Structure 1
Amino acid sequence: MESDDDLALPPALAAIAALGFGPAPDDAEAADADPGEDPHPTVDFEAFEEFLDPEDATDWFRIWTNNPEAEADQFRIFGQTTSGGYAAFWLVREDAALPEQPIVFLGPEGETGVVACDLSAFLWLVADGSGPYEAVEHPTRRSQPHQEFTAIAVKHATGERMTAREVVAAARDEFPDFEDTMAELSR
């Protein structure tokens, strides 16, 4: 078991977790909703208060990949969608600090994708009204800036402001093989 300090989120993610995205609509509500009605479409994401324990992450990853030998030590899981998909830092950059690692989405039905090149880019993605699921499944989603998340990004991000589309495009350009890497681990 890791100490509480090892499971603590970076301050920017802790701020997002404290603010929250609000409840995601259920399927019936989504079907009845007028697409022009809500200027801030719901983001299907809940940031955890701390990282998922590594042992729990490995248990989940083995089931997700259907590979009893798979290890999740390359991920630091920090949130989930209502359907059980996880968002995580992917620890692929050797000797880089956690906030400099890319962020990925691992969906409940095997969906995968790189969401952002690093934490700063992820903050701009969220500020633009998208979450990890939306970045993978709806990468061209219309910008819906969120005032409170924008304030968090302005305070914590080290990179230039980007739209969600720009964040996702940059991540896919830098890490084009993520999906193949996950497919190789799966059985």
Structure 2
Amino acid sequence: MIETTEGDRDFPPALADVARVEFDYDDGEGVDFEPYDTFDSAEETTDWLRHWTGNHQLDGDAYRVFGQDGTGGLAALWCVRPGRPLVEQPVVFLGSEGERGVVAANLSDFLWVLADGLGPLEVVDFEQYEGRPSATLTALAERHATTPRRTTRDIVTTAQAEFPAFSEDIDALCR
């Protein structure tokens, strides 16, 4: 794992605002996302990563966990861009049943995904990317985003093209 942010655990203002939004699961038709109001601690993240991979040699320094789905799958900033701030790191999802994927290339793009009515689980599990746009999350993205609004399909495709080996890299960590 690469430590890229010198242990930065300051919660970005955009995520603090996301944490105040109530996501409507709507019996499986809505967004299955429960945002946190702080990052998981380094210890919690390391413990989770070791159990998720079965590899007790790992530490969780490369991840800043900021939310979960209803089954316990986690959304995180993946600190893979050396020297760049947390908001410029990609957003990834690691599900409770082994699902995983890159959701967005940065926090700004992730805000647009949320505005489209999709969460990290929906992006990783489905390829339709048909959500129910949210006026609340659109306004939040308009306040915080530094990237232009694009479709979720474009955001996800671009992010996955930038990090094509994410899933294989995770497989290599598993024991």
Same fold (TM over 0.5): yes
**TM-score of the superposition, structure 2-length normalised?**
0.92
What do residues 58-108 of structure 1 show as CA deviations (whole Å, max 9, x unaligned)?
011100001111111100000000001000000000111100000000011
- The aligned residue for residue 95 of structure 1 is 83
- The aligned residue for residue 22 of structure 2 is 20
- The aligned residue for residue 130 of structure 1 is 118
Distance 1:128 1:23 in 2: 14
Kindly indicate whether residue 52 of structure 2 is the aligned counterpart of residue 52 of structure 1: no
| Matched residue type, 1:13 | L
The equivalences for 1:61-100 within 5 A come to: 61-100=49-88
Count of residue pairs the alignment pairs up = 168
Task: Report the Cα offset of residue 20 of structure 1.
Answer: 2.2
Seen in structure 2, the aligned counterparts of structure 1 residues 61 and 129 have a Cα distance that, compared at 3 Å, is: same
Task: Report the Cα offset of residue 8 of structure 1.
Answer: 4.2
Distance 1:136 1:23 in 2: 16
Of 137, 162, 167, the match for 1:149: 137
Q: Is the 8 A contact 2:63 2:78 kept in 1?
A: yes
Give 5+ residue unaligned stretches, structure 1. 1-5, 31-40
Identity %: 46
| Matched residue type, 1:12 | A
- The aligned residue for residue 95 of structure 2 is 107
Task: Please tell me the root mean square deviation across aligned C-alpha atoms, in Å.
Answer: 1.3
Give 5+ residue unaligned stretches, structure 2. 1-7
Distance 1:22 1:144 in 2: 10
Kindly indicate whether residue 131 of structure 2 is the aligned counterpart of residue 178 of structure 1: no
Distance 1:109 1:158 in 2: 33
Distance 1:117 1:105 in 2: 12
Q: Is the 8 A contact 1:139 1:164 kept in 2?
A: no
Distance 2:66 2:36 in 1: 5
Task: Report the Cα offset of residue 12 of structure 1.
Answer: 0.9
Q: Is the 8 A contact 1:103 1:118 kept in 2?
A: yes
Seen in structure 2, the aligned counterparts of structure 1 residues 21 and 71 have a Cα distance that, compared at 3 Å, is: same
Kindly indicate whether residue 122 of structure 2 is the aligned counterpart of residue 120 of structure 1: no
